[in-house]
Structure 1
Amino acid sequence: MVRKYVVAPHGGRRAHPDISSALRAAAERHGPALIEIAPGHYEESLTVRGEVELTGLGGPGSVVVSPPRGTVLDAFGTVRVRGLLLVGREADVVDCLGGSLTLEHTEVRAHGGVCVHARRASLVTLTDSVFRYGRTLFAGAGGTIERCGFHDAADNALAVIEGARVSVRDSRFEGSRIHGVRVSDAWAELVGCALTGTEKAAVMADTRAELTMSGCRVDSVHAEAVMFIEQSRGLVRGLRVSDAEHGIGVASGADPVVRDSVFADCRDTGINVQTTGRGTFEDCEVVDAGSVSVFSTNGGAPRVNGCRVTGGNVGVAVVDKARGHFTGVVVEDLSGVALRVFDESRAVFEQTRVERCPAGLEVRGNGGTTAQLTDVRITGFDLSAVAVTGEARVTLTRVSAEHGLLGFGVGEEASLRVQDCDVSATRAGGAVAFGRARLVARNLTVTGSEAFGLCGTESAYVDVADSRFEDCAAAGVTFDESGGGRLVNCSVTGARGMGVQHNGRVDLVSLHTSLPVVERVPEPAPPAVQVVNHHYHGPVFNAAVHGVQLAWNNDEVTQRIIEPAPARATPGTTPRATPGADRRTIQELDDQNGATP
């Protein structure tokens, strides 16, 4: 049987003048107790033991419990608090040492301390309550939070640590100086929650944490909306993020699964995986990211399936020894490159579509930089569909490029392999190799280029077989400078331009064309003779010079032409001129300051 006690600040019939006296009376009877508290301000610290319910009789905020210092409510047992305002300073406002504690329609304000401290093995339930200024801490405890508000915490609004297990539903976190929710070496579930205005990651999972989020919203945060680090795991579904620095971040061995989520208007990146972080991202959308929509860097290795990138600057970037596997990704309407692989990174793109972006794929780096594209379509590009430079290696299989400037380009010392690909309606060309690059193509089709179909220039090597070049305006295939290679079983068709224009360094094996084939061997340029005056004691020659006389350090130079003396005739003979002796040029030098060489 529950025994009822009444507390009234001015006393009354059978009423206790303060809450502590009612608690003492209930403790003496050793049974369940209900303590009803009349409106008023009670400056006392409460120690509650046993099975006790504290209920405020007035409206919200009418019963205030606020001691000058120390803990406001110290609970151990089965304790329920309803309709109170608890205010504390420089200490834990509510401290649950063990047993179970329930706060309903209660407001807790912690000025310089902790709102609620749930200690190991305790069970705390928070329902329809508000927590201000301090953090709510579950350390090794269990807990359920429903329809609560956490406002302006000077620390983390909610911390779940040291093996605690807490479920949070339909609650709001705003204005935290650090995190809205931090889960560290513990388990937490957030369902239908809203987080806003945090100064660091709104939700942080660290130190092997397990975090599950479903149907949550995060907006207007200064850092990441959600961050997984230090081998944390978890499942995020139906997350909606707007106006965050990064939509979701993964680092240092963390490996979450993220599904059906939207990251909009992120100031830097939508999905950010770094420092050996991993993660699986399925059916997500990144809209108008400020820098990079999907970013893998510094050893990151995400798996991205069925995601859409719309608007923003760069679509997918894999840089600085990172990796990434991307399947079924759609990238459209960017202001920068759609796909980027730099600096010893490795990326695989399958069943990917790129539309209306200035550039399709950009790959640059040393020989450890690789990209593989399979079943990829790139349309509506302003620059090139694929550009490969440095020493990078790229393989294209069943890749199509339509309506752009240049289809496939490889330069410097890079390598590009093309299999079963097609390029159509380009303004500059189908495929080009330059520098000392290597282009190997099998079953390449180029149609409707307004310039060339295939071009090899500088010292590039091009090996093309079983390929077709149709209706290219200038030439189907062109080689110039010292570029070389071979064409095997290729065809050039159309009614305009040349079939093949080459430099004599190309093997034409089984070439099929009705258009002209022109070999143009450039004439060697005459060696240049250059005299450079570096203000030495004489001129400097960069090549052999013949038939000249030179002088330096002279104030005056006089050149005279002297007629040769007439030949003397021998009696009985006819005078005969000596070949080349009819006229001579002699340079007479009046050397005042120097010497003639």
Structure 2
Amino acid sequence: MVARYFVSPQGGRRAYPNITAALAAAAGRGRAALVEIAPGRYEEALTVQGEVRLAAIGGPGTVVVSRPRGTVLDASGAVRVHGLVLTGRDADVVSCRAGTLTLEHTEIRAHKGVSVHARPNTSVTLRDSVILHGRTLFAGSDGLVERCRFIDAADNAVAVIEGADVSVRDSWIGGSRIHGVRVSDARAQVTGCELTGTGRAAVMADTRAELTVTGCTINAVHAEAIMFIEQSRGSVDGARVTDAQHGIGVASGADPVVRGCTFTECRDTGINVQTSGRGRFEDCEVSDAGNVAVFSTKGGAPEVHGCRISRGNVGIAVTDAARGRFTRVEIEDLTSAALRVFDESGAVFEQVRVARCPSGLETRGNGGTTADVTDAEFRDFDMAAVAALGQSRVTLKGVVAERGVLGFGVGEEAQLLLHDCDVTAVSAGGAIGFGEAKLVARNLTVTGSEAFGLCGKDSAYLDVANSEFADCAAAGASFDDTCGGRLVDCAVNGTRGVAVQDNGRVDLVSLRTSLPVVKQATEPAELPPTIVNNYYGPVFHAAVHGAQLAWNNNKAIQQQTNEDGSRS
């Protein structure tokens, strides 16, 4: 049987003048109690013990309990609060020291300090409530937050730390100075929430946290929408992010699984993985990224499957000794490169489709910079489908380049290996090697080039076998400068241009063509200077003094001089 207590400052039959008096009476009886509170302002510090329910009988917001300093509500037992406004400063406004605490249709205002503090081994539920300014802190406790609003927290709106386990559902979090939800060395599930205007990452997992984010909307945040760091784990499903600096960030050994998310108009990157961060990203979409849609850098190593990238600047960039595996990726309508691998990084691309981007794949860096591309299509590009520079090494298998300027290019000291690749309808050429680069091609087909099918320049080396060059306007293959290499079992077909412009330094083995092979005029090698030895002069076998010599002269005048050079 629940004992009922009525509180009214105006008095009345069996009414208590303040809440503290009613709580003292309830504690004396030791039974479950319902304390009903009439509308008004109560400047009190409430200590609630046992099984007690505090309720505003005039409805939510009609009872205001406050104090200038210190805790307003200190709960131990099984405490429920309904409809109250609790206001405090410089301390925990609400503190649960033991047992369970439920706050429903309640407003908590913490002008400085903590709004709600769930201490270790307690359980706190917030439902249909509003929390202003202060943070809600779960430390080693259990928690449930449903349909709440967290407004303008001075630091973190919700902090889950020290082994706590909290669910935050269908809530709105806005204007937090630091994070909307921070999970540190704890567990949290954030479901169906909207977060906006946070000063740092809207949702942060750090220090081996376990974080699950499902069906959330995040917009207009100053840093990352979602961030995993310091070996944190977890998952993100169906998140919708708009106008963040970075859509999702992963760093320092964190490894989440991210599925079915959209990242729109992120000011820098959509997906950002760095400093040994990992992560698996499935069926995500990034559009209108300000810098890079998917960025792996400084030792990052993500796996990306089924990603769709549109508009924005760069599609996928792997830089600064990072790695990445990218499968079933669609990229279109960018203002720069679709794929970029720089500076000792390694990337694997499979089943990639690129359309209407200035360039397809760009690589640059030392010999540790590698890119492997399998089953890819590059269409409607303004420059090159693939360009390898520096000392980078690129392998293409089953790659198609169609409607652009240059199919495949390799320069400086880079290496490009082509297997079963096709180039169609390019204006400058199919494949080119220049500088001191090496190009190796097997089963390469170039059709409809408005210039050359294959070109070697400078000191590049081209090793091409079992390949075909058809209907190339200028030449099937052109070799200039001191370029070397070989063509083995290749064919040049069509009615335009010549088969080969030969500089005499490339072996043409089993070339099949009906077009002419043109030997280019080569400049003669520069001859060494001529040295002429004259053996008709005198030969001396001892020291000679005072001698005058002349030969091959028509006239010789001999004249004796003194030791000082004067005439004798």
TM-score where L is the length of structure 2: 0.93
- The alpha carbon displacement at 1:524 in A equals 3.6
Residue identity opposite 1:11 in structure 2? G
| Partner AA of 2:182 in structure 1 | R
Deviation at 1:69, TM superposition (A): 1.4
Q: Distance in 2 between matches of 1:213 and 1:204?
A: 11
Which deviates further from its counterpart, 218-227 or 4-13? 4-13
Partner amino acid for 2:318?
Answer: V
Q: Distance in 2 between matches of 1:508 and 1:188?
A: 67
Mapping of residues 454-465 of structure 1, within 5 Å: 454-465=454-465
Give CA-to-partner distance per residue, 1:140-174, whole Å, 9 cap, x none: 00011100000000010000000000011100100
3-state SS of 2:276 partner: coil
Paired residue secondary structure (2:389)? strand
After TM superposition, the runs of 4+ consecutive aligned structure 1 residues lying more than 3 A away are: 524-527
- Please tell me the residue identity of whatever aligns with 1:276: S
Secondary structure of 1:204's counterpart equals strand
The 8 Å contact of residues 181 and 202 in structure 2, kept in 1 or not, is answered as yes
Q: What's the secondary structure of 1:351's corresponding residue?
A: strand
Residue number in structure 2 paired with 1:324? 324
Contact 1:499 / 1:516 at 8 angstroms: preserved in 2? Answer: yes
CA contact (8 A) 2:60 2:82 kept: no
- Equivalent position of 1:92 in the other structure: 92
Which amino acid in 2 is paired with 1:368? G
Give the aligned partner of residue 366 of structure 1: 366
**Alignment of 1:388 onto 2:388:** yes
Residue 126 of structure 1 corresponds to which residue in structure 2? 126
1:183-242 deviations in whole A, cap 9, x for unaligned?
A: 000000011000000000000000000000110000000000000000000110000000
The amino acid of 1:30's aligned partner reads G
Tell me the residue number matched to 2:283. Answer: 283
Cα offsets for 1:530-579 (capped at 9, x unmatched)? xxxxxxxxxxxxx99xxxxxxxxxxxxxxxxxxxxxxxxxxxxxxxxxx9
Q: Following superposition of structure 1 onto structure 2, how do residues 3-18 of structure 1 map, counting pairs within 5 Å?
A: 3-18=3-18
| 3-state secondary structure, aligned to 2:44 | coil
CA distance 1:461–1:40, change in 2 (3 Å): same
For 1:359 and 1:69, the matched residues in 2 are separated by 63
Aligned to 2:198: 198
Give me the whole-angstrom Cα distance separating, in 2, the residues matched to 1:281 and 1:431: 34
Offset at residue 521 of structure 1 (A): 3.1
SS of alignment partner, residue 131 of structure 1: strand
Provide the secondary structure at the position in 1 that maps to 2:93. strand
Supply the distance in 2 between the matched residues of 1:113 and 1:466 (Cα, whole angstroms): 75
Amino acid in structure 2 at the alignment position of 1:21 = A
Measure the CA separation in 2 of the matches of 1:281 and 1:512: 48
Partner of 2:253, secondary structure, is: coil
Q: C-alpha distance in 2, partners of 1:522/1:486?
A: 18
Runs (5+) with no aligned partner, structure 1:
528-542, 545-578, 582-597
Q: Who is 1:227 aligned against?
A: 227
Distance 1:102 1:237 in 2: 29
Distance 2:519 2:9 in 1: 109
**SS of the counterpart of 1:13?**
coil
Name the structure 2 match of 1:436: 436
Q: For residues 51 and 523 of structure 2, what CA distance do their matches in structure 1 show? A: 104
Q: In the alignment, which residue of structure 1 is the partner of 2:252?
A: 252
The equivalent residue for 1:101 is 101
Q: 1:464-479 alignment to 2 at 5 Å?
A: 464-479=464-479
1:51 aligns with 2:26: no
CA separation of 1:398 and 1:218: change in aligned 2, threshold 3 A: same
* Residue 369 (structure 2) pairs with residue 398 (structure 1): no
Does residue 494 in structure 1 map to residue 471 in structure 2?
A: no
Asked if 1:304 is matched to 2:286, the reply is no
More off after superposition, 6-15 vs 321-330: 6-15
Q: Is 1:2 aligned to residue 2 of structure 2?
A: yes
Partner of 1:571: none
Q: 2:479, 2:139 → 1: CA distance?
A: 72
Query: Deviation per CA, 1:102-141, whole angstroms, max 9, x where unpaired?
Result: 0000000001110000000100011000000000000000
CA contact (8 A) 2:126 2:146 kept: yes
Indicate the percent of aligned positions where both proteins have the same amino acid: 69
1:62 partner letter: T
Matching residue of 1:530: none
- Aligned equivalents of 1:127, 1:204: Cα separation in 2: 22
CA distance in 2, matches of 1:346, 1:511: 36
CA contact (8 A) 2:426 2:448 kept: yes
CA distance 1:508–1:122, change in 2 (3 Å): same
Aligned partner of 1:339 in structure 2 is 339
The residue aligned with 2:314 is 314
* TM-score, normalised relative to structure 1: 0.88
Query: Counterparts in 2 of 1:18-33, with a 5 A limit?
Result: 18-33=18-33
Alpha carbons 1:285, 1:309 under 8 Å: kept: yes
User: Which one-letter code corresponds to 1:173 in the other structure?
Assistant: I
| Separation in structure 1 between the aligned mates of residue 380 and residue 257 of structure 2, nearest angstrom | 33
Distance in 1 separating the partners of 2:408 and 2:130: 60
> Does structure 2 conserve the Cα–Cα contact (< 8 Å) formed by 1:97 and 1:122?
yes
SS for the counterpart of 1:462 is: strand
Aligned length: 535
Q: Secondary structure at the match of 1:23?
A: helix
Taking the aligned partners of 1:70 and 1:504, their CA distance within structure 2 comes to 92
Deviation of 1:502 (Å): 1.1
Where does residue 357 of structure 1 map in the other structure? 357
Rounded to whole Å, the distance in 1 between the matches of 2:67 and 2:202 is 32
Residues 304-338 of structure 1, C-alpha deviations (whole Å, 9 max, x = no match): 00000000000000000000000000010000000
Partner of 2:562: none
SS of corresponding position for 2:24: helix
Match runs of 1:536-575 below 5 Å: none
User: RMSD in angstroms over aligned alpha carbons?
Assistant: 1.6
In structure 2, stretches of 5+ residues that fail to align are 531-551, 555-568
Q: Which residue of 1 aligns with 2:265?
A: 265
**What pairs with 1:158-177 in structure 2 (closer than 5 Å)?**
158-177=158-177
Instruction: Supply the distance in 2 between the matched residues of 1:10 and 1:17 (Cα, whole angstroms).
Output: 7
Contact 1:504 1:521 in 2 (8 A): no
CA distance in structure 2 between the partners assigned to 1:158 and 1:448 by the alignment: 62
Matched residue, 1:73: 73
Aligned to 1:412, what secondary structure does the other structure show? Answer: coil
Alpha-carbon distance in 2 for matches of 1:161, 1:68: 28
Whether the aligned pair in 2 keeps the contact of 1:435 and 1:457 (CA below 8 Å) is yes
**Which residue pairs with 1:409 in the alignment?**
409
Contact 2:139 2:162 in 1 (8 A): yes
Structure 1: distance between partners of 2:167 and 2:154: 22
What residue in structure 2 maps to residue 348 of structure 1? 348
Once the two structures are superposed, residues 399-426 of structure 1 have per-residue CA deviations (whole angstroms, 9 ceiling, x without a partner) of: 0000000000000011000000000000
Alpha-carbon distance in structure 1 between the residues aligned to 2:511 and 2:526: 35
Q: Which amino acid aligns with 1:414?
A: A
Change (3 A) 1:76 1:510: same
**Which region of structure 1 is more displaced relative to structure 2, 518-527 or 473-482?**
518-527
After TM superposition, give the deviation of residue 526 of structure 1 in Å.
7.4
